[in-house]
């Protein structure tokens, strides 16, 4: 029944697209029937592509560049590659905003609760309120991006982040501190999904594959910078105010930079402004190259096809996540993987790292400095994923990393068993476990961004990312707000091994049997993967896992760990 419904929708889409060439592209140009037809034209030689591009060039030349469109304020590089690098640099700052808060609050936790006379529950809520704000920001993600565009959405997130950081730094009581954390969290909730979308829609496709992993790297870089900033101000009077307020420097830099950067060309095309989209395209691509012309031509009609499809699906396309099996499987899979990324302890450890170091005998100053070890190790752990993620595939990284960081959790738990009278031994074992945990969690953390970016169908991707990021912040709130109570109720070793370690083991078995492989596949091929019944995916994974187990039993390690997937 759903297949028949999809066929009827496609007929309407093709009819709508065929009747609509770009609004501003006039002249006797042949009609193009959507993305597939556009790709066929490109493969046939591209003569029609040149006709459309030349028409846009003529209209662009006739347009008064000093009109009120605002073009004059945007940066213009002679080399489009340099402009692309500039965009990527600002994406890095977006990642820093997300990561730096986790480490700044970790350092501030040593001093801020006592300075504001906070109870244990109030201190937990201060840490977790960023996640509450992140939920609100995530829920507003789709409407803000649709109404304002990617560029202005990022600027709004920077404003919220800056206001929140200022409120934190000047907080005089619990209410003011929570308010600042909520506003800052809203900024993070909007930024964390908008920046990757903006970059992906702007940079050349050859750079898109590793940008998601690179974004995670910059989150970890922000965490390291946050620990470094905390160490800088640790001996200053009112240290926690300087620590928390320092983050507004990075949000201000990103805000100012975005003033001089243009809107995403795909968003402009989506809003019916193909000439503006073409103007941006010439900033980020060398339009003299055949590939740049072809890519813009296909994008032009792909966006129109999506718009026509959305009109025919009606206002409640998101219900397909409940009614269409392919969409439902993708949603469940991505949400489970996102939950595993949070419930295995990473955010709780990052938020309370300095406090945890103090519990194994380090004083306040040394706890902040030693936090750099954990944050730096996590950052280094992401680097192999950036380089080799596409070489070995998603299942390899997920299934291999879980046992490795579980060993780190085990060693941390053993460190808690050593009496503090043996300070050196307790600290040495704890640091060893933390380094192992952080290093192997780095590649695993990148999957939390890669998977949702590729498994949702195109027409539902914005809805999917909204749900995914909102639920992710729910889990962050759960693990950070309840950390102190869980630590007291379960004891340190019970929380580390019993809860985080137990969920890691459950997740490992889930990944072995239920995790499909999506690496090295087009989005259309991924659609086919999720159209399979779940039992088929389980059977296929069981066969592959059995073969891998036999290879390991016969010590064919090169085949298991080094052979390209």
Q: Where are the beta strands (DSSP E) in 290-423?
A: none
3-state secondary structure (DSSP) of residue 352: coil
Residues 535, 540, 545, CA angle at the centre, nearest 5°?
Answer: 125
* Calpha distance 408→402 (Å, rounded): 10
Give me the pLDDT at residue 187, please.
94
Rounded to whole angstroms, how far apart are CA atoms 499 and 488? 13
- 298 and 38 Cβ atoms separated by less than 8 Å: yes
150 within 8 A of 268, measured Cβ to Cβ: no
Residue 21: what pLDDT? 46
CA–CA separation, 476 vs 343, rounded Å? 8
DSSP labels, 88-141: HHHHHHHHHHHHHHHHHHHHHTTTHHHHTT--HHHHHHHHHHHHHHHHHHHHTH
- Residue 208: what pLDDT? 60
Predicted pLDDT at 15: 42
CA 215 distance to own-chain centroid:
7
pLDDT at 186: 94
Q: What is the pTM of this model?
A: 0.75
Nearest residue to 186 (alpha-carbon basis) of 140, 233, 121 = 140
Tally the residues of the chain. 565
Say what the pLDDT of residue 369 is. Answer: 75
Nearest to 220 by CA among 354, 77, 382: 382
Residues of the chain with pLDDT under 50: 1-28, 66-72
Q: What pLDDT sits at residue 406?
A: 92
């Amino acid at each position: 029944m759903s297949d028949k419904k999809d066929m009827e929708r496609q007929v309407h889409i093709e009819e709508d697209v065929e009747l609509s060439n770009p609004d501003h592209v006039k002249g006797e140009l042949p009609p193009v029937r959507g993305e597939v037809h556009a790709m066929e034209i490109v493969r046939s030689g591209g003569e029609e592509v040149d006709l459309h591009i030349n028409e846009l060039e003529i209209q662009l030349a006739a347009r008064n560049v000093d009109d009120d469109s605002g073009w004059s304020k945007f940066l213009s590089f002679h080399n489009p590659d340099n402009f692309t690098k500039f965009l990527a640099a600002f994406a890095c700052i977006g990642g820093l905003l997300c990561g730096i808060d986790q480490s700044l609050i970790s350092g501030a936790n040593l001093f801020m609760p006592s300075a504001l006379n906070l109870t244990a529950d109030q201190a937990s809520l201060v840490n977790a309120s960023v996640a509450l704000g992140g939920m609100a920001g995530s829920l507003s993600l789709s409407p803000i991006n649709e109404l304002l565009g990617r560029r202005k959405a990022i600027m709004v997130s920077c404003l919220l982040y800056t206001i929140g950081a200022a409120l934190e730094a000047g907080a005089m009581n619990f209410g003011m501190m929570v308010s600042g954390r909520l506003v800052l969290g809203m900024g993070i909730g909007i930024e964390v999904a908008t920046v990757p979308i903006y970059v992906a829609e702007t940079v050349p496709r050859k750079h898109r594959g590793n940008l998601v992993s690179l974004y995670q790297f910059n989150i970890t870089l922000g965490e390291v910078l946050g620990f470094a900033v905390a160490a800088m101000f640790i001996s200053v009077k009112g240290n926690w105010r300087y620590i928390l307020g320092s983050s507004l420097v990075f949000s201000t830099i990103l805000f100012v930079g975005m003033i001089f950067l243009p809107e995403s060309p795909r968003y402009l095309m989506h809003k019916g402004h193909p000439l503006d989209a073409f103007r941006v395209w010439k900033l980020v691509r060398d339009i003299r190259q055949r590939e740049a012309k072809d890519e813009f031509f296909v994008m032009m009609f792909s966006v129109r096809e999506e718009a026509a499809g959305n009109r025919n699906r009606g206002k409640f396309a998101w219900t397909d996540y409940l009614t269409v099996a392919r969409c439902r499987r993708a949603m469940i899979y991505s949400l489970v993987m996102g939950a595993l990324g949070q419930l295995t302890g990473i955010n709780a450890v990052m938020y309370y790292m300095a406090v945890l170091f103090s519990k194994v005998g380090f004083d306040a100053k040394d706890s902040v400095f030693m936090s750099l070890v954990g944050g730096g190790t996590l950052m280094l752990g992401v680097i192999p994923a950036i380089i080799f993620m596409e070489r070995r595939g998603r299942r390899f990284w997920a299934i291999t990393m879980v046992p490795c960081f579980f060993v780190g959790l085990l060693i941390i738990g053993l460190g808690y068993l050593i009496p503090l009278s043996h300070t050196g031994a307790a600290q040495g074992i704890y640091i060893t476990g933390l380094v192992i945990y952080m290093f192997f969690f780095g590649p695993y953390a990148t999957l939390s961004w890669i998977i949702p970016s590729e498994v949702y169908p195109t027409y539902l991707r914005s809805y999917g990312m909204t749900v995914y990021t909102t639920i992710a912040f729910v889990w962050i709130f759960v693990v950070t707000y309840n950390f102190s109570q869980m630590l007291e109720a379960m004891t340190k070793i019970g929380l580390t091994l019993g809860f985080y370690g137990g969920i890691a083991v459950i997740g490992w078995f889930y990944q072995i049997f239920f995790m499909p492989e999506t690496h090295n596949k087009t989005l259309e091929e991924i659609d086919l993967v999720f159209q399979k019944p779940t039992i088929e995916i389980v059977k296929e994974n069981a066969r592959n896992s059995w073969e891998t187990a036999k290879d390991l039993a016969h010590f064919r390690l090169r085949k298991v760990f080094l052979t390209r997937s």
